[in-house]
Structure 1
Amino acid sequence: MRAILMAEASSPLRVQSRKGLEHDAGRDGWIEQIFSMAITGYKLSQIVEHAFKNITLVIFNYDRCIEHYLFWSLRRLEVTLPDAQAAIENLNIIRPYGGLGPIFRDSGSNLVFGAAPQNNLWGQIDRIRTLTDNEVMHDPQKFSAAWEAAQLVIYLGFGFHPQNMSLLANHSLQQRRAVKVLATTVGMPPSSELRTSLANVAMTTEPKVELHDMTASKLLSDLRWRINSFVG
């Protein structure tokens, strides 16, 4: 946990003033692409309630970069602090291995993004699990419901580790459906086995699975109109 907090503190997304992020921090990244697509078509007064309602994020990392960046992006649009915080607290996020906890100071058991490591972190170690732990920390029913409702599944920077793939396949779907799957596979050779595995996890057919040798940011940018057609 100490290493994660230190990584947050040294990242380009760290807050250096009360104004929030540096002007260009993260603006060329994949979270900005998600944010841009999510808010498109909504008036400022509608963003908090509606922008993220069709998105579920399954996050295997422990850091809070997504929550942190989306919060300050909302503030960049002059969404009020309480409304921006409410939007982030209501995000549909599933963390199978847990996380460091809330980023807001008035949330219970919070750890501010990039906070100085505390001496009592061992007392908070139960917030996270590792790949070798048998117990996961997410709500299986919420996870299964998200899979059942999904019309589009996107893997961004995912390592396709067998245990994580098995975890993703642990849902209640019984029949194949027409869900679309997009996955970044930077540096990986074309693999029919991976395509088959992703189709089986999502309970879809192999022609519905697309593997793209590109970064997360480029995939979201280049395929933006197609992604919007699924989740808009």
Structure 2
Amino acid sequence: MFSRKTLLVVGAGASSEVKLPVGEELANEIASLLRYKFDFGRLETGDPTFLDHLRRLLQDGGVVNDYLAIGRRMSEGIRNCASVDNYIDVYKDDERVAILGKAAIVYLILQAESTSLLSTKRGRSGEEGMIFEPLYKTWYAKFGRLLREQVSQSDLEKIFNNLTIICFNYDRCIEQFLAFWIKSIYSVELNQAHDLVDRLRILRPYGSVAAITGQNCVAFGFDKDRISLSPLVKNIKTYTERVEDAEILLSLRSAVNEAATVVFLGFAFHPQNLALLANDKPTTAKRIFASAYGFSKPDAENIQLRLAKLFHQTETVSRSKIIVRPDLTCSQLFDEYRLSLSA
């Protein structure tokens, strides 16, 4: 359990540690998915299962052909953009591009969940289980160990005290991991673990593919015969679709303002996403950590300046307390600052 109010701000790079496609990799997968080519009515390239889902989503043969043409153009152009969202932003006045792009995102994320390190299998008893060994080198396991510290079985209800997560991803990796992690340590039933995770404050400005429990839930992973893309596409926003819900914005900014420790994991620091967190009030944060793996040193310095502005650089938060590490993955950040994060 965290001793201080702690906020995790989670971006796409965090999910890559459990083998989900992000950024350029996701764009490449979408390009392959939508590269539809027919020879006298016989499908030669492109994903046939996604095509079936697309037909059900659109329910109009003529319209489907229009979308297939858009998909072919998307498969050519999307590789030249930094991400799927960037491509959709180019065509922000054509809602068909957003619908097709979001349908592809939902489809591929559900597929990726089912082959990720967080996928589960049923044992001989029929009980669903997760193999944790591959996770020990990821930030998930290291975060889970910090979370468990000083939380006995009798105090389990308090495990998420002082923790808030802002997740910019569409996947449900955090919820999936935490439920099975808690089940394994505290020997509780899976539904009890899920109930606990449901109480954790997770804010999702762009939504998620679906709830993992409760009404209209979709189990973690992909079952092509049991899902319908139509309701799921409506669950997510791209950054072209501005987040204007006053209640969501207030929740995001309150979470930032209340936190004593803020940790950015796999976050790309896009100005539009930082703006969602911006608060007019001076922050109470005393420590800010950021994994910026893959960024250059000059860009890391620029990120530090952006965060100083975001957190209203004051006596409480000076640039010396904003630690941006371009040399560390999310997992390595937890290794490097384990004691600092648990203090």
Q: TM-score, normalised by structure 1?
A: 0.89
Q: Which residue does the alignment assign to 2:294?
A: 187
Aligned mates of 2:174, 2:133 — CA distance in 1: 16
RMSD value, Cα: 1.8
Q: Which residue does the alignment assign to 2:319?
A: 206
Shift of 1:218: 1.1
Indicate the SS of the match to 1:109. coil
Retained in 1: the 8 A contact 2:259–2:284? no
Shift of 1:19: 4.1
Aligned mates of 1:96, 1:163 — CA distance in 2: 12
Q: Which residue does the alignment assign to 1:5?
A: 110
Q: Which of these residues, 210, 218, 228, is aligned with residue 332 of structure 2? A: 218
Q: Amino acid of the residue matched to residue 69 of structure 1? A: F
- Structure 1: state its 5+ residue gaps: none
Give the length in aligned residue pairs.
224
Shift of 1:70: 0.7
Q: Which residue does the alignment assign to 2:147?
A: 38
- Structure 2: state its 5+ residue gaps: 1-105
Indicate the SS of the match to 1:83. helix
Retained in 2: the 8 A contact 1:96–1:136? no
Aligned mates of 2:207, 2:191 — CA distance in 1: 25
1:109-148 alignment to 2 at 5 Å?
109-117=216-224, 118=226, 120-135=228-243, 139-148=248-257
For residues 162-186 of structure 1, the C-alpha deviation after alignment (integer angstroms, 9 at most, x for no partner) is 21122222x342x354521111121
Retained in 2: the 8 A contact 1:97–1:129? yes
Q: TM-score, normalised by structure 2?
A: 0.62
Aligned mates of 2:198, 2:336 — CA distance in 1: 29
Shift of 1:143: 1.7
Query: Does residue 1:162 correspond to 2:276, yes or no?
Result: no
Indicate the SS of the match to 1:210. strand
Superposition misfits of 4+ residues, deviation over 4 angstroms: none
For residues 107-148 of structure 1, the C-alpha deviation after alignment (integer angstroms, 9 at most, x for no partner) is 101010003145531233221100111135672222222112
Shift of 1:73: 0.6
Q: Amino acid of the residue matched to residue 170 of structure 2? A: Y
Indicate the SS of the match to 1:53. coil
Structure 1 residues 37 and 19: alpha-carbon distance in aligned structure 2, compared to 1, 3 A threshold: same
Larger deviation, residues 147-156 vs 116-125:
116-125
Structure 1 residues 161 and 178: alpha-carbon distance in aligned structure 2, compared to 1, 3 A threshold: closer
Aligned mates of 2:134, 2:297 — CA distance in 1: 33
1:38-117 alignment to 2 at 5 Å?
38-47=147-156, 49-77=157-185, 78-104=187-213, 107-117=214-224
Structure 1 residues 144 and 112: alpha-carbon distance in aligned structure 2, compared to 1, 3 A threshold: same
Q: Which residue does the alignment assign to 1:29?
A: 138
Retained in 2: the 8 A contact 1:186–1:214? yes
Retained in 2: the 8 A contact 1:181–1:209? yes
